[in-house]
Amino acid sequence: MKTPKENTTPDTFRNVMYIKQSNDLSAARYSWTLVQKKLLYIIFYHIQNLQSSIDKNANMKLTFPDKYLTDIDGNITRIYSQLADMRKKDMKVNTNRKWLCVGIVNYVEHNKINGTIEIEISHKILPYLLELTNQFTSYNFLVAMNFNSVYSQRFYELCCQYKTLGFFSFEIEELKKMFGIVGLYERYTDFCKKIMEVAHSELFEKFNSNACDVCFDWSVDAASKIGKKITRLNFSVVSKNLKYTKKQMELADYMWQICDDWAMRYLGRHRRELLRQYLFTYQDKCPEIYAKFQRIISSYKHQSDITKVLTKALKEDYQL
């Protein structure tokens, strides 16, 4: 391992507007408190504003004034507790290319004499913040920092990721894995009250006061219900000053035809979920997969044959 490179960061966020992160990171599984999530935003901001001097193969040291944290929570003892807990936590990224389990923070040191915080960041997370040629989400740093709920922050990121498409969909269990709350809120009404309504109310409040440019509505996906059990939610993104192009509307039609019609008829539940998440992440693949589905379905008469050929094609061509 190379020696970590040290960077001293600017002492103001006044001119900061947007930060970017890989879509794989937006869907990653982790459980952070509000203070920890805000610290994560600070880390992301610093990394991207210093990327020209970063060695992606080495752990990275960041140094910034401790007031950035005391402005979030004035109790330094609570901050120490949050930082210590954050150092022990893992973030899990699972894609069709790789599975990664990484602790983002290697160590944290507070220099009480000069009033600075030093944090070492694992080099394993840097590609998800720096190598952003495509498939990334851009969101407003100041908006994200001002939310009062970590669930509002996560849904804000998802809304920013899918705002050009206008909708997205998730299994409730997958949302729980993403938010680190597996085993909690087993009743749908509890999940709505503790997670959905909290995030929805805060985003809409900020949206209506022009403090946020996106918000969302959600509904139950009736087709995926198992008996009376609700398993999937559909989300529509509301965005200020966004006019959908013909191409974007065609993309939405492709998504509906593939995921809500053909996949429901010809694919098993697990592969349907993999396909849905793949298409939401790699939207540019929709026309290609649409044409492939259309060609295979028109070439075979029996459902069992269609299922077999589609399954083979998805496995071989897209590792699904």
Chain segment 114-133, per-residue pLDDT in tens: 999 999 999 998 887 776 55
What pLDDT does residue 247 have?
65
Please determine, for residue 192, whether its predicted confidence score (pLDDT) is greater than 90: yes
- Residue 107: C-alpha distances to residues 103, 181, 274 (Å): 10, 25, 35
pLDDT single digits (tens) 47-101: 887 877 788 889 999 898 988 888 888 888 998 999 999 899 888 888 777 899 9
Q: What are the structure tokens assigned to 152, written together?
A: 């509002």
Q: Which helix (H) or strand (E) holds 62?
A: strand 60-65
* pLDDT over 90 percentage in the chain: 27
Please determine, for residue 106, whether its predicted confidence score (pLDDT) is greater than 50: yes
What pLDDT does residue 284 have?
77
Beta strand spans in 103-231 (E): 105-111, 116-121, 136-140, 167-171, 214-220
Among 70-84, 138-152, 193-207, 259-273, the minimum mean pLDDT is found in 259-273
Residue 23 has φ and ψ, to the nearest 5°, of -60, -30
Q: What are the structure tokens assigned to 250, written together?
A: 């065609």
What pLDDT does residue 131 have?
65
256 or 208, which is more confident?
208
Q: Which helix (H) or strand (E) holds 175?
A: helix 172-179
Q: Among 198, 205, 162, which Cα is nearest to 26's?
A: 162
Please determine, for residue 246, whether its predicted confidence score (pLDDT) is greater than 70: no
Q: The pTM is what?
A: 0.72
Strands 60-65 and 5-8: parallel
Q: Among 218, 201, 82, which Cα is nearest to 148's?
A: 201
Residues 250-263 have a mean pLDDT of: 77
Q: Among 74, 67, 83, 71, which Cα is nearest to 11's?
A: 67
Count of beta carbons in the 10 Å neighbourhood of residue 65: 16
